Structure 1
Amino acid sequence: MTIRPIKPEETYPLRHDVLWPDKPVEYVMLDNDADGYHFGAFQETRLLAVISLFVRDGTARFRKFATRPDSQRQGIGTRLLNQVIEEARRLGAHTLWCDARLSAAAFYQRFGMKPEGEVFYKGEIPCSKYVLLLNNQPTV
């Protein structure tokens, strides 16, 4: 498996299929996609997972993290998130955060991310903000 930068539009099909298949594809397009760093995990030419990173004023946020269902629980998401954590550090961020579905909370907690604030809903999906302070903590 390889991880490499990709264009925002390369993320859209996987974002749509995995995260919001019942919405129009435009729903997964972000206004600031052009300002982000987008990464894809590939097995040869097959795109297995995507994640998008946005950094501003020392704070980094990742969004639209999606892994094909048939590729989940194989360490692909772990490798991809580790790469994004390192990229956020490289870009000078001191904090990394995301809005996480509660069904994925244990995954983010493995990286040392902690919930912050109240549970909220995106549609019917319960979510929480998860935050990681980026000092010299090792990745998992």
Structure 2
Amino acid sequence: MGLRRGPSGAPATVSIRPIAASETYPLRHAVLWPSQPASYVQLPEDVEGQHFGAFGDAASRGGEDVGAPSTTAAAAAAAEPRDEEDEEDEADVPQRLVSVISLFVDAARREARFRKFATAPAWQGRGVGSALLAHALDAAARAGAARISCDARLSALAFYRRFGLEAPAPAEDGLPAVFFKGDVPYVRLEKSLLP
């Protein structure tokens, strides 16, 4: 992802890369289910998933972050090949995990599902989640999935619709069927990944 302007007007540099499932847990817990025990956000299928994180520079976060501690871009460079110029420019910029998403692909059925998508509150509304979701949709298509689905919080329905995710069979009133996880209303959404 490129540059986004932070609240102070300073550019917010964000990079997206694969991460371990365990790295998603603090942000999943803090953003999605803070009133539940930390184990509530761990999924048995996490070992089979692909997990992606968006890392933002700490200088442009515009508020307190939730989730994983800072690293440096130099330490993260081992996970992602870069040009020498990129390493030189970003080597001392502290990085913080600011958004996470987990992708599960069933290659035999050509279906994918993303889960536990969370963005730190200080980074919401800045394009970080959009970039991470677009990355996950692309990763699912590259893995051969023809369709992708998710259980989305009803409050985020408009966000997901911008990516073409819709309810598979809306009720007669045109609204998607709502179900609850705890006291939070959700809807099942899906999208074709075929061109």
TM range (shorter): over 0.9
Kept after mapping to 2: 8 A contact 1:116/1:128:
no
2:152 aligned with 1:100: yes
> What aligned pairs does 1:6-85 form with structure 2 within 5 A after superposition?
6-44=19-57, 45-56=95-106, 57-85=109-137
Q: Distance in 1 between matches of 2:21 and 2:164?
A: 28
Q: Distance in 2 between matches of 1:62 and 1:51?
A: 7
**Larger Cα-atom Rg:** 2
2:162 aligned with 1:126: no
Q: Which runs of 5+ in 1 are unaligned?
A: none
Q: CA deviation at 1:43?
A: 1.3
CA deviation vs aligned residue, 1:29-56 (integer Å, no higher than 9, x gap): 0001000000000014201100000000
Question: Post-superposition, which runs of at least 4 consecutive aligned residues in structure 1 deviate over 3 A?
Answer: none
Q: Distance in 2 between matches of 1:40 and 1:33?
A: 14
Q: CA deviation at 1:135?
A: 1.2
- SS across alignment from 1:84: helix
Give the TM-score of the pair, scaled to structure 1: 0.95
> What aligned pairs does 1:111-122 form with structure 2 within 5 A after superposition?
111-116=163-168, 118-122=177-181
Q: Distance in 1 between matches of 2:165 and 2:28?
A: 22
Q: Which runs of 5+ in 2 are unaligned?
A: 1-13, 58-94, 170-176
More strand by share: 1
Kept after mapping to 2: 8 A contact 1:116/1:131:
yes
Superposed CA RMSD in Å reads 0.8
Q: Distance in 2 between matches of 1:116 and 1:22?
A: 31
Give the TM-score of the pair, scaled to structure 2: 0.69
